[in-house]
Amino acid sequence: MATANVTRPYPYAPAHLLRGPEDLVPPRDHHPAFYGSYDWHSSVHMHWLLVRLVRRCPDRVRAEEVTGVLDKHLTAAHLAAEADYLRAHPSFERPYGWAWLLALTAECRALGPAGSGWAAALEPAAAAVETLLYDWLRRATYPVRHGVHTNSAFALGLILDSAAAAGRAALAEPVAAAVVRWFGDDHDAPAHWEPSGQDFLSPALTEAEAVGRVLPRARFADWLDGFLPGLERGAPAPLLTPPVVSDPADPQIGHLIGLSLSRAAALRRIAAALPEGDPRGPVLTSAAEDHLVAGLPYVVSGDFTGDHWLATFAALALDEGPPGG
């Protein structure tokens, strides 16, 4: 499915500002590597998924088919064009697509010699993202907290997981500082408002997951006491209960399938960040399992609305390891 996604040029939702009729060109003109899978960020993370599957379970994928597609897409020329586009459009896919591009770079490097050519080709694009990240973090006074692509906490967490493996370990310090600056004093998250009708990320859980990456266990446990009080009692229930998905084929309502999967990953990650024996751990891991059970049946439906992206979030929900680890 993932190879079919990344090679499928249409339908496609470009995030490209049209300044004139000359900009009405096929997506592949701007994005020779990431022209498929409905949109740019989905194409990037579907490539990540392909590389991850080759690395983690090569006996369960059609490796020759997968590597053939990756060889065609992740070329020096294609990635140079993608890097040029990123530099020319500095807010494009900020920060969600940026984070996934670093995760893809990390995964290629983690594959070893088999991924070295793809990693080398990705280097200019990864360098462009690094520069853009430094500039954005310097200027961004506030985080974006809602439950869709521009959510700051999810992207920063993904970058923290990927930076070192992507060859950009220096990014960890300013990203961690941003997490502490933006979220360190937060308390009493309005989690009873979740979910919103088109969330695929939980604002509260992505924030807690990011903070859990940067604080020591004891400090994180104290922070979580103030941010989400009552977890040990199973509260707030809306945050620990899988969302109702009334119409999986609706492009926005269907986001809630991804919310089940991203919550499963976040809940398990938060539990793992707590001190051993913390009574919230079993509550969080049980809720993670409930969300996983709710989300997995929808991952492969035959409907491109969900098929173009959900498998990546299923991989995150099923795999406790970081993107390049």
Q: How far apart are CA 239 and CA 218, in angstroms?
A: 23
Tell me the domain boundaries of the chain: 1-139, 168-325
Query: Is the pTM here over 0.85, yes or no?
Result: yes
| 55 phi and psi angles, rounded to 5 deg | -80, -40
What pLDDT, on the 0 to 100 scale, is given for residue 1? 85
pLDDT for 248: 94
| Cα R_g (the chain), whole angstroms | 19
**Cβ-Cβ contacts under 8 Å for 149 (sequence gap 6 or more):** 41, 96, 97
43-64 pLDDT per residue, tens:
999 999 999 999 999 999 999 9
User: Which residues of the chain fall below pLDDT 70?
Assistant: 320-325
